Chain A
């Protein structure tokens, strides 16, 4: 690169200098923070460490897949899974509820329209925390379970939560679960097939009825034994697991490095193609060079990290006796697990139905729901769940409403003047265009919902923030827990937004 004599006026020089200066500034800032934090932690006699992840924390988590976690890591995993339970089910319910409210606000029926407007205006002007407390108060206003005898229960609400019948998992549950997921795919296939028949042969082919029928036939057939076909996955997994043992370790490591190189190559060549224009063939801008250098650096770091295990002493020096990079990431164990769960030798019904029961709580005079039968939605879960769902669904309703309203009136008029039925018009003309407008703001609402679950701490729902706080109060590892929180929430957000972005790209409108 040749600079002008007066390089301080050269745009290219300024750009590079700017980038490098900013990079140095950021590094400096971070290293200052880090060294300051280390110093302070040492001064308080609580040096930074991840050790608590392996030791037993001795805490009781009120609900989750484990209540007495064996390790700090497991405790945090319980918190994560609790958070995800609310976030995922909440996103589904809030989407449906929000769509209903949004469409209701556009209704021509005066009563429906006014009442949904009233709901939206009320809910969105009250802070979420207050709403969560409200739902907690609602459920706490029910009598406690010991206050009167309920006899045989199917469904019950008390100050201890909501209890309802539940399908308890059995040996063959995994098999049937996968069979059930496959039924959706089959129903969708059938729907598409019938639609294509309708389009190509020009006769009514009942896609909706056919797909619903497929769903039921598939699952009923599955319940009476058909689900065992899923065992083929377990069989394949066991083969793979055996194969994995035979594979030399260098195989996997090289594969990963190859993938790394492949993607960085693709990234770089895409950059080059993008910047290539008719008069400027293959000439890269400074930005591109900078990006390529960064990509190459990343690959280098990855490569060094992954090649370390191969008998180089520096590896032992860096990663100790139990080097992470030497591990097989539990892939064979995972495959064995799959093989154990998905196996056609597993017998019995896939699920059994159980009803809730009230039992005495320890030696006290109080009662509670039995944790072994039925399913209980705890007070904290209910309050957080209802809070985020109601709160988010009114915002989603506004997104839905604005999306539908943004589709020009002329579109419906054109469709109607062609003689389309209202339902066809909505499905083929209005919704595809409205969805496009709705997707990005919808994604924001999903992210909000996911992050708002952290308010569960206010009603003692043990999600990741509540559990993390318990852990650092006990172990003093504030920084470590904060890092885990950050990593967890950014992972969730990134996954969510990349799903949304994927659909967004898929639906993008072609214009000139």
Chain B
């Protein structure tokens, strides 16, 4: 059963059509990598999945609930879907621990001690328990992104969305973030990852998609995608980045 399903999703910014009818679905536990040149609509699409952007036509179902203007549905879906951003977006006025426990306390109504225990577990999992009392501004980029992942995981989401999680990082820090993501993928989390890290796609992905000009041009297993692509656009894309 698919946990995310989109049917002919379209989106315009003024005259510019960013999404030209995207239909796809993601099964539970699947790791999907979306690749594509900048401006191809891949970020826009995953931002539609938790309604940071609104699609104007078509339907999106997350865990069986359709995304509509109903505020209750939106909040329900957002608490099921974790998101990790390119620019981390940690809350700079809160400590690492407070960043992670904020949503469990205020949205899930957990007790502070319970939320903090869970947060320490997650920090352990992403490998930086010693940074709990620091502020985001005191951490390196890679550490900040790992905190952001822990923050999203603290809500115990069913789905994790990654919007170019390594694009703002120094090369040496990319690996530490990818390692956390690989571990997460192996644990059975449903993940949609927008990234340019083709190594990650080869190693971890169950499926790879290529977006171009607001359209889904190719959808394939990683093996086929890299070695035997169907469309010419994919061949061109691969020749440019590999």
Binds B, one of A182-190, A249-257, A409-417: A409-417
Give the size range of B's interface with the partner. Answer: 35 or more
Please report which residues of chain A, range 100-136, place their CB below 8 angstroms from some CB of chain B when the two chains form the complex: none
Task: Give the chain B neighbours of A510 by CB distance below 8 A.
Answer: 135, 137-138
Q: Return the contact of B109 from the options A204, A432, A511 (Cβ within 8 A).
A: A204
Query: Can you name the residue of chain B whose Cβ is closest to the Cβ of A436?
Result: B93
Q: Is B196 an interface residue (CB 8 A)?
A: no
Please report which residues of chain A, range 379-426, place their CB below 8 angstroms from some CB of chain B when the two chains form the complex: 408, 410-411, 413-421, 424
Q: Is B75 an interface residue (CB 8 A)?
A: yes
Q: Are B103 and A418 in contact (CB under 8 A)?
A: yes
Q: Return the contact of B113 from the options A198, A200, A411, A436 (Cβ within 8 A).
A: A200
B95 CB to closest chain A CB (Å) equals 9
Q: Are B103 and A200 in contact (CB under 8 A)?
A: no
Q: Are A509 and B92 in contact (CB under 8 A)?
A: yes
Q: Is B235 an interface residue (CB 8 A)?
A: no
Q: Give bound CA distance, A199 to B75, whole Å.
A: 21
Q: Is B89 an interface residue (CB 8 A)?
A: yes
Q: Are A421 and B89 in contact (CB under 8 A)?
A: no
Q: Give bound CA distance, A421 to B107, whole Å.
A: 8
Q: Is A203 an interface residue (CB 8 A)?
A: yes
Q: Return the contact of B111 from the options A201, A419, A421 (Cβ within 8 A).
A: A201
Contacts A417-B78, A419-B155; A410 near B89 (Cβ below 8 A): yes
Q: Are B137 and A509 in contact (CB under 8 A)?
A: yes
Task: Give the chain A neighbours of B148 by CB distance below 8 A.
Answer: 414
Please report which residues of chain A, range 412-458, place their CB below 8 angstroms from some CB of chain B when the two chains form the complex: 413-421, 424, 428-429, 432-433, 436
A144 CB to closest chain B CB (Å) equals 56
A433 CB to closest chain B CB (Å) equals 6
Q: Is A2 an interface residue (CB 8 A)?
A: no
Interface string of B38-82 (1 = CB under 8 A from A): 000000000000101000000000000000000000011011011
Task: Give the chain A neighbours of B107 by CB distance below 8 A.
Answer: 418-421
Q: Is B126 an interface residue (CB 8 A)?
A: no
Task: Give the chain A neighbours of B52 by CB distance below 8 A.
Answer: 413, 416-417
Classify the interface of chain A: helix, strand, loop or mixed: helix
Interface centre among A198, A202, A417, A424 (most CB of B within 10 A): A417
Q: Is B174 an interface residue (CB 8 A)?
A: no
Q: Give bound CA distance, A415 to B138, whole Å.
A: 21
Q: Are A202 and B112 in contact (CB under 8 A)?
A: yes
Q: Return the contact of B75 from the options A198, A421, A429, A509 (Cβ within 8 A).
A: A421
Interface centre among A411, A414, A421 (most CB of B within 10 A): A414
Interface string of A81-94 (1 = CB under 8 A from B): 00000000000000
Q: Is B151 an interface residue (CB 8 A)?
A: yes
B46 CB to closest chain A CB (Å) equals 11
Q: Are B92 and A414 in contact (CB under 8 A)?
A: no
Q: Are A512 and B50 in contact (CB under 8 A)?
A: no
A18 CB to closest chain B CB (Å) equals 38
Query: Can you name the residue of chain A whose Cβ is closest to the Cβ of B105?
Result: A199
Interface size on A, residues (CB 8 A): 29
Q: Give bound CA distance, A416 to B83, whole Å.
A: 10
Q: Are A200 and B111 in contact (CB under 8 A)?
A: yes
Contacts A418-B102, A419-B78; A408 near B112 (Cβ below 8 A): no
Task: Give the chain A neighbours of B152 by CB distance below 8 A.
Answer: 417-418
Q: Are A417 and B50 in contact (CB under 8 A)?
A: yes
Query: Can you name the residue of chain B whose Cβ is closest to the Cβ of A414?
Result: B89
Q: Is B226 an interface residue (CB 8 A)?
A: no
Task: Give the chain A neighbours of B112 by CB distance below 8 A.
Answer: 199-200, 202
Q: Are A202 and B50 in contact (CB under 8 A)?
A: no
Q: Give bound CA distance, A216 to B93, whole Å.
A: 34
Please report which residues of chain A, range 478-512, place their CB below 8 angstroms from some CB of chain B when the two chains form the complex: 509-512
Q: Give bound CA distance, A413 to B43, whole Å.
A: 14
Task: Give the chain A neighbours of B109 by CB distance below 8 A.
Answer: 198, 202-204
B215 CB to closest chain A CB (Å) equals 25
B151 CB to closest chain A CB (Å) equals 7
Q: Is B85 an interface residue (CB 8 A)?
A: yes
Q: Give bound CA distance, A352 to B152, whole Å.
A: 58
Query: Can you name the residue of chain A whose Cβ is closest to the Cβ of B53?
Result: A413
B74 CB to closest chain A CB (Å) equals 9
Q: Give bound CA distance, A187 to B63, whole Å.
A: 43
Q: Give bound CA distance, A509 to B137, whole Å.
A: 9
Contacts A416-B78, A417-B52, A419-B155; A202 near B89 (Cβ below 8 A): no
A79 CB to closest chain B CB (Å) equals 43
Q: Are A202 and B110 in contact (CB under 8 A)?
A: yes
Q: Give bound CA distance, A202 to B101, whole Å.
A: 12
Task: Give the chain B neighbours of A203 by CB distance below 8 A.
Answer: 109
Q: Is B6 an interface residue (CB 8 A)?
A: no
B181 CB to closest chain A CB (Å) equals 17
Q: Give bound CA distance, A421 to B87, whole Å.
A: 22
Task: Give the chain B neighbours of A411 by CB distance below 8 A.
Answer: 89, 91
Q: Give bound CA distance, A449 to B241, whole Å.
A: 60
Q: Give bound CA distance, A415 to B105, whole Å.
A: 13
Task: Give the chain B neighbours of A512 by CB distance below 8 A.
Answer: 137-138
Q: Are A202 and B137 in contact (CB under 8 A)?
A: no
Query: Can you name the residue of chain A whose Cβ is closest to the Cβ of B114?
Result: A202
Task: Give the chain A neighbours of B105 by CB distance below 8 A.
Answer: 198-199, 202
Q: Give bound CA distance, A79 to B155, whole Å.
A: 60
Q: Give bound CA distance, A421 to B75, whole Å.
A: 8
Q: Return the contact of B102 from the options A198, A202, A413, A428 (Cβ within 8 A).
A: A428
Interface string of A177-214 (1 = CB under 8 A from B): 00000000000000000000011111110000000000
Interface string of B110-150 (1 = CB under 8 A from A): 11111100000000000000000001011000000000100
Contacts A417-B81, A419-B75, A510-B135; A433 near B93 (Cβ below 8 A): yes
- Chain B residues close to A by CB (< 8 Å): 50, 52, 75-76, 78-79, 81-83, 85, 87, 89-93, 102-103, 105-107, 109-115, 135, 137-138, 148, 151-152, 155
9 contacts between A and B (CB under 8 A): A199-B112, A200-B111, A416-B52, A416-B78, A417-B82, A417-B152, A418-B78, A424-B106, A511-B135
Taking A198-B105, A202-B111, A436-B93 as known contacts, 9 extra A-B pairs with beta carbons closer than 8 A to each other, sorted by chain A number, are: A199-B105, A202-B114, A204-B109, A413-B52, A416-B78, A418-B103, A419-B107, A424-B106, A512-B137
Top-5 shortest CB links A-B:
A419-B79, A202-B111, A414-B89, A511-B137, A418-B103
